[in-house]
């Protein structure tokens, strides 16, 4: 625990607020935040490919801040005796990034910790780039994604966008796409119908883990309630409410690969999480409205029907016996 | 921007499959959304084609099909222009 605290706080005193030194002509820099996989894969080839990119970013200090890698303390303890992990951590991860260790209830808390730390080191023109670590970067599709990810923060900088969502194109039968079609969007249309339509004008993958976000927008989101999961959906809702500038950019295409299957249990968990977040977020925004309780009960009843229907469809498509 | 930035031009080919259209032009940040700047040429298969040289970076654009702003279904990205209209996005590297 002491080590975790030390790791978290070590960088803060060194963080120089860049706002005071910024000039009107200064171009912002990009802060890469890598989310280290919660479960360490046996094969390091994907992470090796990812950290080759991180090394290049670390070497280009005119455009990029020192990358941050967020590592869950549970991962640390699970791998504390693993020599291969310790070597990779020391020789690769720590060499090319500052490691932020934190106890996190879920991945989105890792996002919050990493983006929060980067934000405290950043300035008003800067952009924060989230890079999920648990992707098959060593594969053909992974290399394609790695080659395009840098576009996300560049788009935010060049086109003065508030958020750029990276989207991986999939076919309609990919399980993530099915979950978004029958779960995410179906529930969004119930709780936030107008905003859901606006989000879908940009993306079919509102739960994407690939995104870049501008300093001011990140400040707004960080100072509001952060959810432990489905935070991308919440950010997109905030963006639509506040009329932020949203861009979607394709970072890869996995429609021709045979993978993309998830268990029904996983689909169920994801849909239930989405519903929980949307319910909480709706209440948060509606508490000041007279009669919100009655409206909530109506929406909740519909939401349950939608969730049940969505899960029935997903169960049928998964081919699993419940 | 320095001079090398300006010299860094790449040829990009745009294709619009508006086979029934009478006129199609390419509009974007690179021509100040001027409908007359980049008229597209109709091909024997009735699609519309145009190659333009663009600077390194990301460019917002759309097709103007018989006067109507139309997204490129093959675009790599989607965003809004300064008027708030949904437009397409092309990266040039």
Interchain contact, A155 vs B89, CB within 8 Å: yes
3-class secondary-structure state, position A29: coil
Please identify which residue in the block is written with the tokens 């080839």.
A45
Interchain contact, A246 vs B58, CB within 8 Å: no
Interchain contact, B89 vs A247, CB within 8 Å: yes
Cβ neighbour number for residue A43 with a 10 Å cutoff: 9
Please identify which residue in the block is written with the tokens 């007279």.
A290
* Residue of A145, A148, A151, A166 to mutate, testing the B interface (most B Cβ within 10 Å of its Cβ): A151
Which ipTM did the prediction report? Answer: 0.90
User: Minimal CA–CA distance to A185: which of A108, A127, A261, A237?
Assistant: A237
User: A177 or A236: whose pLDDT is higher?
Assistant: A236
Interchain contact, A151 vs B80, CB within 8 Å: no
What gap in Å lies between CA A53 and CA A150, rounded to an integer? Answer: 10
Predicted confidence band of residue A303 (pLDDT cuts 50, 70, 90)? very high
User: Residues A109, A215: contact at Cβ < 8 Å?
Assistant: no
Predicted confidence band of residue A129 (pLDDT cuts 50, 70, 90)? very high
Taking CB atoms and an 8 Å cutoff, what residues of chain B touch A151? 58, 77, 91
Closest-CA distance, A252 to chain B, in angstroms, reads: 10
Residue of chain A with shortest Cα separation from B93: A151
Residue B6: the pLDDT is 53
**Most distant pair of Cα atoms in chain B: their distance:** 43
Beta strand A163-169 with A246-253 is parallel
Interchain contact, B89 vs A249, CB within 8 Å: yes
Taking CB atoms and an 8 Å cutoff, what residues of chain A touch B58? 151, 154-155, 158-159
Chain A (245-274) residues lying within 8 Å, Cβ to Cβ, of chain B: 245-250
User: Residues A62, A99: contact at Cβ < 8 Å?
Assistant: no
pLDDT digits (tens, 9 = 90+) for A200-215: 999 999 999 999 999 9
Interchain contact, A249 vs B86, CB within 8 Å: no
Q: Is B76 on the interface with A (CB under 8 A)?
A: yes
Predicted confidence band of residue A17 (pLDDT cuts 50, 70, 90)? very low
pLDDT digits (tens, 9 = 90+) for B8-40: 899 999 999 999 999 999 999 999 999 999 999
């Amino acid at each position: 625990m002491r080590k975790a605290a030390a790791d978290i706080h070590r960088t803060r005193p060194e963080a120089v607020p860049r706002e005071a030194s910024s000039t009107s002509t200064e171009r912002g820099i990009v802060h890469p935040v890598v989310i280290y996989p919660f479960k360490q894969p046996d094969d390091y080839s994907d992470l090796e490919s990812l950290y080759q990119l991180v090394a290049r970013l670390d070497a280009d200090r005119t455009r990029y801040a020192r990358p941050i890698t967020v590592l869950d303390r549970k991962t640390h303890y699970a791998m504390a005796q693993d020599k291969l992990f310790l070597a990779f951590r020391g020789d690769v991860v720590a060499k090319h990034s500052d490691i932020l260790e934190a106890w996190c209830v879920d991945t989105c808390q890792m996002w919050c910790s990493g983006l929060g730390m980067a934000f405290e080191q950043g300035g008003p023109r800067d952009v924060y780039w989230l890079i999920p670590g648990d992707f098959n970067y060593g594969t053909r599709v992974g290399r394609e994604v790695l080659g395009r990810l840098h576009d996300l923060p560049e788009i935010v900088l060049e086109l003065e966008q508030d958020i750029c969502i990276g989207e991986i194109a999939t076919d309609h039968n990919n399980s993530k796409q099915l979950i978004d079609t029958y779960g995410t969007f179906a529930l969004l249309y119930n709780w936030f119908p107008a905003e859901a339509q606006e989000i879908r004008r940009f993306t079919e993958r509102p739960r994407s883990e690939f995104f870049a976000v501008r300093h001011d927008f990140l400040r707004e989101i960080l100072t509001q309630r952060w959810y432990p999961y489905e935070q991308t959906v919440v950010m997109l809702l905030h963006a639509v409410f506040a009329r932020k500038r949203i861009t979607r950019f394709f970072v890869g295409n996995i429609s021709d690969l045979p993978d993309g299957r998830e268990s029904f249990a996983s689909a169920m968990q994801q849909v239930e999480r989405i519903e929980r977040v949307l319910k909480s977020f709706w209440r948060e925004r509606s508490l000041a409205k007279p009669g919100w309780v009655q409206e909530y009960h109506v929406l909740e009843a519909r939401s349950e029907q939608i969730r049940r229907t969505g899960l029935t469809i997903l169960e049928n498509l998964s081919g699993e016996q419940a | 921007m320095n001079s090398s930035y300006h010299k860094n031009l790449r040829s990009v080919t745009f294709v619009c499959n508006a086979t029934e259209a009478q006129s199609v032009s390419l509009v974007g940040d690179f021509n100040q959304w001027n409908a007359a700047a980049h008229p597209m040429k109709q091909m024997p298969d009735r699609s519309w084609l145009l190659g333009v040289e663009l600077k390194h970076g990301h460019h917002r654009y759309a097709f103007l099909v018989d006067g109507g702003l139309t997204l490129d279904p093959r675009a790599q990205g989607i965003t809004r222009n300064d008027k708030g209209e949904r437009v397409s996005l092309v990266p040039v590297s």
